[in-house]
Structure formats: C-alpha cells, structure tokens
Amino acid sequence: MLRTRVMPCLLLKSGRLVKTVRFRDPSYVGDPVNAIRIYNEKEVDDLLLVDIGATVDGTGIPMDVIGRVASECFMPLTYGGGIRTLDEVQRILAAGVEKISINTCAVEDPEFVARAAALVGSSSVVVSIDVRRRRLRRGYEVCARSGTVRTGIDPAVFARRMQELGAGELLLNSIDRDGTMSGYDIDLIRHVTSAVSVPVIACGGAGRVEDFGAAVKQGGASAVAAGSLVVYQGPHRAVLINFPTRQELDRVLN
C-alpha cells in the first residue's frame, strides 16, 4: 500500500452516483455497486461514500445502499451524510463500514463528535469540513448543509476544535474547487494542516495525478480524495470509472 492514501470520493443522491460542480448541478454518473466493483479491480486503498441529499433533502441515511456497497467493497469504506444519532453510527458500522464521516452535525452539535468518538473510538470518526472563500474579505469559512449555510467560522479554528473533541481524521472539502478539476486549494490545505496533528484528507479540485503530489508535498495533506478525476475521462467528461496506476501514483507521491 502507498504511504499516502489516494481515494475516490463518490457522491450519492437518491441511491445513484452523481458528480457536482461547486456542490451544485449533480450529474448522474452510474450505479454505486458497479463503480465499487471497478475500484476493487483497481486495488484502490480507501473509498469515501457521501450522500449529498441525506441532510438537505431530508432523505435520510440510505442503509440499503450502504449495505450493498459494503458487501461488495474490498477496501476500507467511509460513509458520510445525514448522521445525527449514535444509533445511526452503530448501524452504519455494523453494516460493514469502517469509518463514519460527520459534517453538518459537527457544526450544529459539536459535542456529538465527542459522543461518537467515545462510543466507537476516534479512529472510526472523520469530521468532514466544507469550506468556501469569504465573500467580502480574505480567508475562508466553514459551511454546513451541503455548502448552503455559511457559518463565518475559520476552518483552522474549527479543525482544532474537532481534533480536541475526538475526531481521528479530517476531510477537507474546497467547495470553490469541487468538480472544477483546476487543482487543490493548496493555501486552504496548508492553513488547516498547520493547525492540527490528526490526518487531513484533501478533497476538491483534483484534475490530474500531479495534483495529488502538490496537496501532500506543498499542502501537508496526509491523504487525497478525488471525484471528477476518477469518474470522468477526456475534455468532454465522458463517464468512465477509472483510477491512476500504481506507477503514476508512485511517481508523484514518492
């Protein structure tokens, strides 16, 4: 396994895989189980599965989809989307998921992170931090509810608090770079990684394999996630579930 984990970030909406651009305009890209089978063949290290409608649309946690994906998934699986209770945490992990990712609930009820960590251990708790650039001044702010609610909270401050509450890992999402394939926001990644000691997964903007190396070597990320890069092919974004070869990853990460 590579020292730096590289993982697909797959988005769910109404049980189907979609891809967004700046958290908007979800486009259908396939069936989740079929995608998992392809990533199994490509020996992916880890996989992130996030339901983007569970909180905002009120659809709830898709336990049926989680169960089907977990039964097919050969690699460690993290699920996020709509998690608000400890019972939900236990049910998701019991379905075969290795880690749960808490997003909106971490903003609205931060102590839930501590309760979850106390129940299942920090190593199973990821806090997902969605971030936008501020509108009228320099810097960044944390957003909730799929990026629709601006909190005014600096992501480095929020990341430190999540670490203190027991998060074992942080998933840092740049809303402004999501789906653009224009490269990670290295300044944002560095801003957060310099504030915490837990691993940070960089997400949002990967457009080529070299972007992984930049996120790690320049930004200080411990792991990297990608969406568009691993579900699209070519300038016209034809849907093709894919993943870089080990040789390509070794070249940019080692």
Q: Give catalytic status of residue 130 as yes or no.
A: yes
Between CA 97 and CA 78 the distance in angstroms is: 6
Instruction: Taking the CA atoms of 104, 101, 129 and 193 in sequence, report the sign of the dihedral they define.
Output: positive
Contacts of 167 (CB under 8 A, 6+ apart): 102, 106, 113, 117, 122, 125, 126, 127, 198
Strands 140-144 and 125-133, by their bridges, are antiparallel
State the catalytic residue, choosing from 130, 154, 176, 185: 130
The radius of gyration computed from the CA coordinates of the chain, to the nearest angstrom, equals: 17
Helices 63-72 and 86-94, packing angle to 10 deg: 30
**The amino acid at 3:** R
**The amino acid at 238:** A
List the catalytic residues.
Answer: 130
